[in-house]
Structure 1
């Protein structure tokens, strides 16, 4: 969808070269949301779990796209704005233009190329911004040799040191699945053909510079055409691409345009499913393969692109994606041009998917954007993110009991803890009561950063306390909490844990030893940290622990800490996530297969086998893992759903299952988020083995 808009906007951007838009925005753009005071609610409980360490903030985490149709791509003012926002990665040459762009002569047949947007100009801006570059090589109309020559020019001739190189952009949009927005001159448009070329591109490009990292395009879980198997293909786009190109790539590329605040709840499953696909298909050593979100935006055609709701959704999504280990999240776009104009939360939304104003007007000339390079609200979301979670910090678990308020937290190397609080309510000011696990905050008012609806800057103050703040409506707030007492000589953090011998109810967790501090290490403690609450699973004097009493088919995220002989506690290990299975043997077994998928639903087949005594009358039960899943219809049995639980009862003439007997039933499952399949089934109350 955004690709069509990108091409359509080129005409606007061409006009931008000669158009001088009025410097002043319409009065509504600066109007206050309301003169009435905001309502105030009961305190929101916020829990911050300092033992629940997540991903470390990457150097390239805060990114944005640049486009060759943007005549302001190479200006110092643009670069300086991006630097002030904390942008650390810039992607070039811009969306679908990547597959028509030829770098050597700076042309894009069929598209518009603005003056002063060639690669060397782009790199000058990258350096002024203080960022790294990500370049998308032309797959659609280019060759491996052309891409290799680009690498050689960039890193050997010019010495730019461009580390990240993608092969093509959204190449599944080449018509293979029915929709065509991406240029692709290859007669064979299948994922297998794309993957074979990724291998050739990688070999040629790394011959020019072996130090580069090469990325391949994947579909995003629960986003079209993820899950679909086209005619003649051996599997989905992701499975085929990874199985062929996996050994030759260093990262994968996904794109996401959620357009809503509540979609951040999808992120953990989205990234976990992507990692599972990589592990299952990319071959030995696939753990080296990173994940980059090289296009992301929270705006919609109905508004929110340049106003505070889009900014709040952006901050929440950036924090969630980076905490789940994505190494770069890249906003679409630096400049994009005016779109559908509307009023959102008391302010003019220009329908512009850029961080900065293009200074353009509607076709009728009745509405014009603010002056060129004026920041839109999402700009301040990136700026807040860069101040909240800095490269080298480590995200930790945080949660709230109020859906309108989101919380994130990150520990800094000096022991300070930054807490980001996002209030999405339009009219309610929420007081928050913040509780901490694994950290005792210092007394006194902490430093506070705040951005509110319509504000043109992030304000700094010293207010409230580490445990009590008040969040204005439609606001982002970061507080920096210092520990009550710094402790010297603490142990180092244990290394990356691994799981082995995982069954339905147990697992063995092992980890590299921590380095001792001033005192010997007395023991290690293992904590489950799947939410804002920390649960100790056990402790060990060695470097492994057999954990029991787990639930079948459940995802666990754990961290390990070291405790010394004086009670001093280390920082938490990196996180380990594993999923328990079902019983190795049972009186019943179940196989669920996804027979066909269309991106928002699928046909599932369930094979039930009775391994025990003969059964005359059976009931199968299972739960949908996620709230965005539901039963559409079912057959060969009587299907009902109550809450998240599905109950399947045999038909009157099909209730007999002799020993070794089986039955096959089917259903349509609907989903509107990452589709984590049910994993635990019971037959007449007994947990079955899932095959």
Structure 2
């Protein structure tokens, strides 16, 4: 991938060990008066689910050259922002770092007290989980397998997600040996990586079959995607997946979109993420065979390349995370928590100082603010935790304006929350909201807001469920409760290891006479429906939709309908946590 100095090889700016720990202030910025207001319509379809919010969705990198990795402040910084995944040992350092000794090759700096056990203590204290990048560049399958054994057998850490190498395609294969990724293999071709990857998978899963292992891909549309290297017959992605696609559990891309202006940057989540995710999914489907539905997509490095510490990136961050997840990524990891900077490149963007630091918070070095001072991207990411939590459902939200992004979440209790991101730096947005499959109560909603150049997140009871004003360059999250539930679902099952029989009863409380119905829900586990009665049922992944058959289409108000199914399962057959009857959210029980 062609990137600026913030690429992995350029990110290894040693964060000085002497950085002092300090508390951050929480002074809210006063929004400047808007000179005009743009009218925007946002429609929310609470019955059209895009994705389940994953427990690994909102992540961040912490590299071993960060001297504050395991400081007392770090767990709080992680949990407050809502980070549930932390990637280690960090970017290109992954391919020089040896976990047993805590040392790195090629003269790479490793800060004190950044060893694996110390890192795991911080991650656990934050209530997060790790994603570990095993050393491919100067490591071996045996070294990686030993790491799995130590982590999951000796220490019982239960580390589930493992990458094999960082940006391995940056090993010089495509640039006359002038790459940024350390690679001591005599052959640096995609074929070599893929064949070695299979060996890593075999060795590591022999220790713990339950772990998930990811393969490094080039980002579709970014260099060196599409280039066929010496010794290969296809480009990197086709080669790697044709050899290892049936063996891996997830595919990895990194995404640092280039941009010509803040306005251009703020178009990138919608303009690029769906296309990249679709291209990766197509490759997985092409090469992973029957394993394809089980292969996930992880974006283990993500950030902008400019405006890093100012308001544009504060808007870009939540929009970027959520758009990736809506398009199938189970993990997105920001580069990074603390990074460091070159103080000769400090600029001013939208009235605030941009230190050209890729971190979410200040490293405290040189020209920067006190260590751990949050930058706007930190607050923007924290707003995601106001929108929803793991297990909630991202649903369709559409905006009439390209200057306002909208994301929506439906919670298991029937609540709906909406995030509105105003990309206009000068004008407020007057937003009218409409809903399908959800009827909000008349109560004034709780509204969280992050303002341009702000230093905290505010909350208030304001506006209404159908009208909100979002300040210029502001983010608003509106939390709403439904009116009383118009339907009720009773879900019963008879289970045994590997199989079950389920019956579903829907009671029509207040929907009037129903003539034709559909019921949507998502299995939390890996249930696969094999047979049904009294309904026409389709299943895509864990999502299920049941519709009436000819003899039970009519359900009077106060009446009910019942249907049933057989299913297989292996890991879990936990009960669904939410149901939608003709788009209406139903009570359970």
Class of the TM-score when normalised by the shorter of the 2 chains: 0.7 to 0.9
Give the superposition deviation at 1:41.
2.4
**Match of 2:347?**
342
Rate the CA distance shift 1:42–1:134 in 2: closer, same or farther, 3 A: closer
**Match of 2:358?**
353
Q: How does 1:273-352 map to 2 (within 5 A)?
A: 273-300=279-306, 304-339=307-342, 340-352=345-357
TM-score under structure 1 length normalisation: 0.70
Unaligned runs of 5+ in 1: 362-367, 494-511, 528-539, 546-557, 575-691
Rate the CA distance shift 1:419–1:343 in 2: closer, same or farther, 3 A: same
Could you tell me how far apart the structure 2 residues matched to 1:215 and 1:155 are? 18
**Match of 1:632?**
none
Could you tell me how far apart the structure 2 residues matched to 1:461 and 1:31 are? 14
**Match of 1:446?**
445
Deviations 1:449-506 (A, max 9, x none): 000012111111100111100000111110012112223423779xxxxxxxxxxxxx
Deviations 1:295-315 (A, max 9, x none): 000242xxx101111010111
Could you tell me how far apart the structure 1 residues matched to 2:582 and 2:320 are? 24
Could you tell me how far apart the structure 2 residues matched to 1:278 and 1:183 are? 27
Deviations 1:640-675 (A, max 9, x none): xxxxxxxxxxxxxxxxxxxxxxxxxxxxxxxxxxxx
2:506 equivalent to 1:517: yes
Give the superposition deviation at 1:70.
0.4
2:90 equivalent to 1:85: no
2:61 equivalent to 1:65: yes
TM-score under structure 2 length normalisation: 0.82
Q: Secondary structure at the match of 1:518?
A: strand
Give the superposition deviation at 1:522.
7.2
Could you tell me how far apart the structure 1 residues matched to 2:215 and 2:434 are? 42
Higher relative contact order (CA 8 A, sep 6+): 2
Rate the CA distance shift 1:231–1:526 in 2: closer, same or farther, 3 A: farther
Could you tell me how far apart the structure 2 residues matched to 1:308 and 1:289 are? 35
The number of aligned residues is 517
2:118 equivalent to 1:121: yes
**Match of 1:41?**
37
Structure 1 runs, 4 residues or longer, greater than 3 Å off: 1-12, 18-25, 29-35, 490-493, 518-527, 558-564, 566-570
**Match of 2:411?**
412
Give the superposition deviation at 1:256.
0.3
**Match of 2:580?**
571
Contact 1:492-1:571 within 8 A present in 2 as well: no
Q: How does 1:224-263 map to 2 (within 5 A)?
A: 224-259=223-258, 260-263=265-268
**Match of 1:664?**
none
Q: Secondary structure at the match of 1:490?
A: strand
Could you tell me how far apart the structure 2 residues matched to 1:369 and 1:296 are? 22
Contact 2:348-2:354 within 8 A present in 1 as well: yes
Unaligned runs of 5+ in 2: 259-264, 493-500, 521-532, 549-553, 562-578, 584-589
Q: Please identify the structure whose Cα radius of gyration is greater.
A: 1
Instruction: Compute the RMSD of aligned alpha carbons.
Output: 3.0
Contact 2:219-2:255 within 8 A present in 1 as well: yes
2:109 equivalent to 1:112: yes
Rate the CA distance shift 1:71–1:275 in 2: closer, same or farther, 3 A: same
Deviations 1:57-113 (A, max 9, x none): 001111000100000011120121111111100000000010111111111112000
**Match of 2:571?**
none
Q: How does 1:640-659 map to 2 (within 5 A)?
A: none
**Match of 1:481?**
480
